[in-house]
């Protein structure tokens, strides 16, 4: 457990923003002091419960950890929704987010992957219409939030140069990662030492990495490379996803169409174990090779990219810094009290 995660587990339940919920909700079959009894108390009070449930139902999106919103107060999915769900239909508010990410954006577009009655300017748990990352079985298409690369939140914006820009947003809260090599894992229910899951992952992504115009490090064999250690494993997959979405051959068949992308990582500044992890001197030592650099998570990942400016880290509060303070006064107060 990271220091930040330990601190939030201890202190977050003490914050008076859970409608006097008595906690001890069930997580992994055990009552936990950081899990609410009623999931409704995990959401900002102005989010209509029926609306958020219908959004997930209508768009066939899976909830993290169950069939309804989790009561786990450290859930990054819940954090993302608390910050963004209430503003998703407000063009001006979403544009202010987009311009915080890139000042040269001058409009945001309604996102076409959601159903007609749920379309807005932010989409959650977004996937491509077709499987470009070899992640689905039997020719199936990707399912949102489940068993494939999903994007926590997505914005589509117009650049002043006329291009349409895809903004995939990955949301983190207390996450941190150990030294698991995703390219050598056996996987659940597989023979020990088989590395079956790892071999499947290498088969899925290796050729895509080699052909990528953004991932800089090219190898004959990507086994135990930086791309298969978290958080870089997830960043690698999302980079490939964004590239495939803007590929001219693919995008004509996609409901979401764009010319370029900016990959955004939202991380609280207090999460030092994630932000400051040193690839060389801390965890994931096996991946320190092949042209990667030591340093912070950001420095390491940018050293893997041909165009590092396409990847940006921002704090949750900074992302919302320019929204209308009067209109969203109660939201800002809630977020500051709960997460800051």
Query: What residues does 143 pair with on adjacent strands?
Result: 146
**Nearest by Cα to 155 from 36, 280, 242:** 242
Instruction: For residue 62, count other CB atoms closer than 10 A to its CB.
Output: 16
DSSP-derived secondary structure letter, 142: P
Residue 317 has pLDDT above 90, yes or no: yes
Residue 28 per-residue DSSP state: T
For 90-94, 111-115, 145-149, 312-316, which range has the lowest pLDDT when averaged over its residues?
145-149
Token pair for 298: 């950001």
| CA 262/CA 265 separation, integer angstroms | 10
- Is residue 300 a contact partner of residue 232, using CB atoms and an 8 Å limit? yes
**What is the pLDDT confidence band of residue 65, given thresholds at 50, 70 and 90?**
confident
**What pLDDT, on a 0 to 100 scale, did the predictor assign at position 42?**
98
Mean pLDDT, residues 280-308: 77
**70-74, 107-111, 143-147, 155-159: which range is least confident on average?**
143-147
Q: Look at residue 129 and tell me whether its pLDDT is greater than 60.
A: yes
Annotated domain spans of the chain: 3-339
Its pTM stands at 0.94
Task: Quote the pLDDT of residue 340.
Answer: 77
For the ranges 8-22, 137-151, 287-301, the one whose mean pLDDT is highest: 8-22
Q: How much is the pLDDT for 289? A: 60
Mean pLDDT for 167-193 is 92
131, 144 Cβ separation under 8 angstroms: no
Which residue in this structure is represented by tokens 């000042």? 103
Q: How high is the pLDDT of residue 280?
A: 62
Task: Report how far residue 226's alpha carbon sits from residue 217's, in angstroms, rounded to the nearest whole number.
Answer: 9
Contact 60, 43 (CB under 8 A): no
* pLDDT score of 149: 96
Q: What percent of the chain has pLDDT over 90?
A: 84
pLDDT tens string 19-62:
999 999 988 889 999 999 999 999 999 999 999 999 999 999 99
Buried/exposed 155-173: b ≥16 CB within 10 Å, e otherwise: bbbbbeeeebbbbbbbbbb
pLDDT digits over 238-290, tens only? 999 999 999 999 999 999 999 999 999 999 999 999 998 766 655 555 666 66
Q: What is the mean pLDDT of the chain?
A: 93
């Amino acid at each position: 457990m990271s220091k930040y995660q330990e601190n939030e587990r201890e202190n977050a339940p003490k914050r008076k923003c859970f409608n006097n919920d008595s906690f001890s909700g069930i997580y992994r079959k055990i009552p936990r002091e950081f899990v609410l009894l009623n999931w409704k108390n995990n959401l900002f009070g102005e989010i209509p419960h029926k609306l958020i449930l219908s959004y997930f139902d209508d768009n066939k999106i899976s909830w993290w950890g169950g069939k309804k919103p989790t009561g786990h107060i450290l859930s990054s999915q819940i954090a993302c929704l608390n910050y963004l769900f209430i503003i998703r239909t407000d063009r001006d508010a979403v544009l202010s987010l987009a311009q915080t990410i890139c000042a040269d954006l001058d409009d945001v577009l309604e996102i076409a992957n959601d159903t007609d009655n749920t379309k807005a300017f932010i989409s959650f748990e977004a996937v491509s219409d077709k499987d470009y990352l070899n992640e689905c079985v039997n020719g199936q298409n990707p399912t949102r939030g489940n068993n494939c690369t999903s994007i926590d939140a997505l914005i589509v914006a117009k650049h002043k140069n006329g291009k349409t820009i895809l903004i995939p947003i990955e949301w983190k809260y207390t996450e941190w990662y150990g030294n698991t090599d995703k390219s050598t894992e056996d996987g659940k229910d597989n023979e020990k030492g088989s590395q079956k899951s790892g071999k499947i992952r290498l088969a899925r992504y290796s050729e895509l990495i080699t052909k990528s115009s953004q991932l800089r490090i090219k190898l004959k064999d990507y086994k135990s490379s930086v791309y298969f250690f978290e958080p870089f494993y997830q960043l690698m997959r999302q980079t490939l996803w964004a590239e495939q979405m803007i590929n001219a051959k693919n995008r004509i068949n996609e409901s979401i169409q764009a010319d370029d992308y900016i990959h955004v990582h939202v991380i609280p500044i207090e999460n030092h174990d994630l932000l400051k992890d040193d690839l060389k001197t801390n965890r994931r030592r096996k991946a320190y090779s092949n042209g990667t650099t030591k340093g912070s998570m950001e420095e390491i990942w940018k050293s893997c990219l041909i165009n590092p400016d396409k990847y940006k880290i921002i704090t949750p509060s900074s992302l919302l810094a320019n929204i209308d303070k009067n209109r969203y006064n109660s939201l800002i107060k809630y977020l500051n009290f709960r997460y800051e």
